A = this chain, B = another copy of it.
């Protein structure tokens, strides 16, 4: 019936094969998500058979974890290198350089970014993903602490905020109707984020906080529409 075992395509060094598998896995996982992607998909994308994927990439969990780690490591290295390579810059500029490296990684390695950021934080890899994102937040916190002259613990919530803002802006760039074009998109995006975020961070340093008008204080917000008011919600 079927000829058994077609010619083996080529004999390649294990490192090359492993990188092929990892590249394919990143691409497939970024497009379909962890659960949506099958190992057959990865094999097909890599141009290999499934046993080779298992030989070089391990189980599906191990393979996904390897994708996560490789891409996170790349992103962290590039941001760190950008922020620290020229210590003559002032901290604010270094923060901008770090952000630019972040967006540069996003725009040039979209699949890797997607694997890291658009995956579910619920489910089996929640801890893994949160830990990796935490390292990125920590790096942002270090830059901000230096730039603002504040202790890291004080800026930590704002580091989360800044990273979230970067992710949101990236979302706009990736899905927007008329994204910024050109090779210097990272420059533009980093500038936009600095423009939107820096004045607030700077105000934070001097202790100025936003306060609501007096007549709004103490009001507990709208109860209607949130807390189980209607006995039955007849939506649809």
Contacts and interface: CB of A to CB of B under 8 A. Distances in A.
Nearest to A215: B89
| Chain A interface SS verdict (over half) | helix
A161 B100 CA distance: 16
A139 interface: no
Task: Please tell me how many copies of the chain the complex holds.
Answer: 2
A210 B191 contact: yes
A33 B120 contact: yes
A19 B233 contact: yes
Interface string A71-89: 0011001100110010001
A234 interface: yes
Closest 4 CB pairs of A and B: A164-B168, A33-B123, A160-B172, A199-B199
Interface of A: 15-16, 19-20, 23-24, 27, 29-36, 44-47, 66, 69-70, 73-74, 77-78, 81-82, 85, 89-90, 93, 96-97, 100-101, 104-105, 108-109, 114, 118-124, 130, 156-158, 160-169, 171-173, 175-176, 183-184, 186, 191-204, 208-213, 216, 220-222, 224-227, 229-230, 232-236
